Amino acid sequence: MTILFDLDGTLIDSTEAILESFHYAFAKHEAPHAKDETIVSLIGHPLDYMFANMGIEEARVWDFVASYKEHYREIAVQKTVLLQSAREAVLHAKEFATLGIVTTKTGLYSRELMEHFGLMEHFKVLIGREDVTNPKPHPEPIQKALEKLGGANGDVWMIGDTEMDLVCAQEAGVRGIGVTSGYGSFETLKKYTDVIFGDAYEAVLFLKGGKYHTNNLS
């Protein structure tokens, strides 16, 4: 079995670092600040998409992204925490599955965070934003992860907290599990999967128990 995890809202909570970095970029470029709730509603999308949807004109978007990353790199480790039971989820999952991370977050920062938490060693692959041309919900991130793993190892599952994770899974032809520990609502997740749990640990226990019928799950 192969289990691919999203990061933000699935294994980690970096909301504080994300918000602070957006406001840093707005301030540096003397642009109107978006409301925190607006920023949070867009988490999971690529940074350029997020800035564009907060009113930053296309010609300036990448300057804002660069400023965001400049600040985020400095504060990410101090202002990011593992979600409850995330460590247990990874440690249980590694006992019976090959693990990977598929995120829209910059891969460099993602790796640094997971190394900080002492969990990176359990993952065979990490696909971040810079590793693909087309981020989630396009299937390329999952396809690239499986390619780097040398192909699918039995059943393949994607665990994520937003519709982008689940659509990516569907488009890549793998099964998706939604978790409500992050930024997507149960109602939204329900549109894309019938398999939804409170957090990644519950999802892993479900997979470890093998109490699913592969013909009925997507």
Question: Which residues are designated catalytic?
Answer: 6
Characterize the bridge pairing of strands 156-160 and 175-179. parallel
- How many other CB atoms are found less than 10 A from the CB of residue 171? 15
| DSSP assignments along 72-139, one per residue | HHHHTTTT-EEPTTHHHHHHHHTTTSEEEEE-SS-HHHHHHHHHHTT-GGG-SEEE-GGG-SS-TTSS
Respond yes or no on whether the N-terminal peptide bond of residue 135 is cis (omega within 30° of 0). Answer: no
Rounded to whole angstroms, how far apart are CA atoms 162 and 8?
10
